[in-house]
Amino acid sequence: MPIALLALALSAFAIGTTEFVIMGLLPQVAADLKVSLPDAGWLISGYALGVAVGAPIMAVLTARLPRKSCLALLMVIFVVGNALCAWAYGYGLLMVARVVTALCHGAFFGIGSVVAAGLVAPNRRASAVALMFTGLTLANVLGVPIGTWLGQLYGWRATFWCVSALGVAAFIALLASLPSQRNAESPDLAREFAALRNGSLLLSLLMTVCFAAAMFTLFSYIAPLLLQVTGVGNRGVSWTLFLIGAGLTLGNFIGGRLADWRLSASLLLSFSFIAVFSLLFSWTSHQLLPAEITLFLWALATFSTVPALQINVVTHGDDAPNLVSTLNISAFNIGNALGAWAGGKVIAIGFGLTRVPMAACALALIGLAVCLVTFRRPPRRPAVA
């Protein structure tokens, strides 16, 4: 694998850390800025909205830039946004800084996926994308707990200064390692948007929404499930999250290999296993060891889907790879919000925490149905000149 993939993975690690570390710092942020926890929680939603809306906008605005220059520019925005977060003197400015930081997120992962896939032979594209996304999974395993620990020791602003420094290191690595190649041709924006009329592409984006919704329906409420149903303490929750992170990382590698083997079979298997392990957790959540085993297997199945989903949308949207791959990140964040809402709704209407994994299973089955419809569609016919 080219060394440039490690630079992309480092960038993904930095971006993933800044997205998720706020969850561990919410109490400190709320106390320092004198806002309630629910208000502080909107900093998470604001970031997700910035990703969902900003990804296609940034993809269009940077479409005519060489991809190396584009990725470097997005990393500059990332560094500036995190520095603003660290410097923010009030809630409003911090919210603006989070949204600014989010603008680079979707476009970087979308364009970075295209670059990663282009660095290797065609039969290793999914593995290359998986290696880049390893940075995102490691952000959950290492970046978030270390960032939370730093924030608890030295204040939440110190965490964002450190993430800014990570962004500077990633910027230097990208400039040093990515090949200086211009895009094959100047992109036609009309053609880019015309690509969205492809029914298989739209189904592929819907597949991503279903995947993220199934994942975050369960993942958003994993801590209360472990505390109130499984009966572990706070330290047990931390160790379980580390175990889940290990499963996500391993699943990401396995998913890349499976997608290189056969894309459609990889997605069908992954959605099936997500549904099975989500449903199984409804029963195993009552005992520690079965719960831990189930969650590890669930995490492995979940992130084995990510490389295939990204390659899938690029394959169906090959007329506009930059735009459609960034739209895939937007779809992921829409699913993120939908999943958190769905899990909360299950609890709010009185079904209880043990029904949350069942809701995740239902959404995974919907994703499986979308897979079946997508791969049963006839291949797109070439346009007549």
- pLDDT over 80 at 231, yes or no: yes
Q: Do 210 and 172 share a domain, yes or no?
A: no
Distance from C-alpha of 298 to C-alpha of 24, rounded to nearest angstrom = 23
The pLDDT value given to residue 345:
81
Average pLDDT, the chain: 84
3-state secondary structure of 350: coil
Task: Please indicate, yes or no, if residue 94 is contained in any of the structural domains.
Answer: yes
Task: Please indicate, yes or no, if residue 208 is contained in any of the structural domains.
Answer: yes
Boundary-marking domain end, from 178, 209, 240:
178
Averaged pLDDT for residues 289-314: 89
Q: Do 195 and 73 share a domain, yes or no?
A: no
What is the token pair recorded at 308?
């295939």
Q: Do 219 and 101 share a domain, yes or no?
A: no
Distance from C-alpha of 264 to C-alpha of 261, rounded to nearest angstrom = 9
- Tens digits of per-residue pLDDT, 113-140? 888 888 888 778 777 877 887 888 788 7
Whole-number percent of the chain with pLDDT over 90: 32
Q: Do 163 and 44 share a domain, yes or no?
A: yes
- The one-letter amino acid code at 122 reads P
Distance from C-alpha of 290 to C-alpha of 230, rounded to nearest angstrom = 10
- pLDDT over 60 at 235, yes or no: yes
Task: Please indicate, yes or no, if residue 20 is contained in any of the structural domains.
Answer: yes
The model's confidence at residue 377, banded by pLDDT at 50, 70 and 90, is low
Task: Please indicate, yes or no, if residue 14 is contained in any of the structural domains.
Answer: yes
Q: Do 152 and 223 share a domain, yes or no?
A: no
- Tens digits of per-residue pLDDT, 204-216? 889 999 999 999 8
Least-confidence region, from 67-71, 148-152, 159-163, 288-292: 148-152
Q: Do 216 and 137 share a domain, yes or no?
A: no
The pLDDT value given to residue 279:
95
The pLDDT value given to residue 294:
96
- Tens digits of per-residue pLDDT, 48-81? 888 888 877 887 787 778 888 899 999 999 999 9
Total count of domains within the chain: 2
The pLDDT value given to residue 98:
92
For 275, the domain range is 189-378
Q: Do 324 and 236 share a domain, yes or no?
A: yes
Boundary-marking domain end, from 150, 178, 206:
178
Q: Do 172 and 76 share a domain, yes or no?
A: yes
Task: Please indicate, yes or no, if residue 183 is contained in any of the structural domains.
Answer: no
Task: Please indicate, yes or no, if residue 184 is contained in any of the structural domains.
Answer: no
Using alpha carbons, select from 127, 82, 133 the residue that is nearest to residue 103.
Answer: 82
Q: Do 274 and 167 share a domain, yes or no?
A: no
Q: Do 225 and 291 share a domain, yes or no?
A: yes
Task: Please indicate, yes or no, if residue 385 is contained in any of the structural domains.
Answer: no
Averaged pLDDT for residues 95-104: 90
The pLDDT value given to residue 204:
86
Task: Please indicate, yes or no, if residue 384 is contained in any of the structural domains.
Answer: no
Q: Do 244 and 326 share a domain, yes or no?
A: yes
- pLDDT over 50 at 347, yes or no: yes
Residue with tokens 């149903």, as numbered in its chain: 229
Q: Do 30 and 87 share a domain, yes or no?
A: yes
C-alpha dist (Å) from residue 318 to 193, 235, 257, 373:
12, 46, 21, 20
The pLDDT value given to residue 382:
42
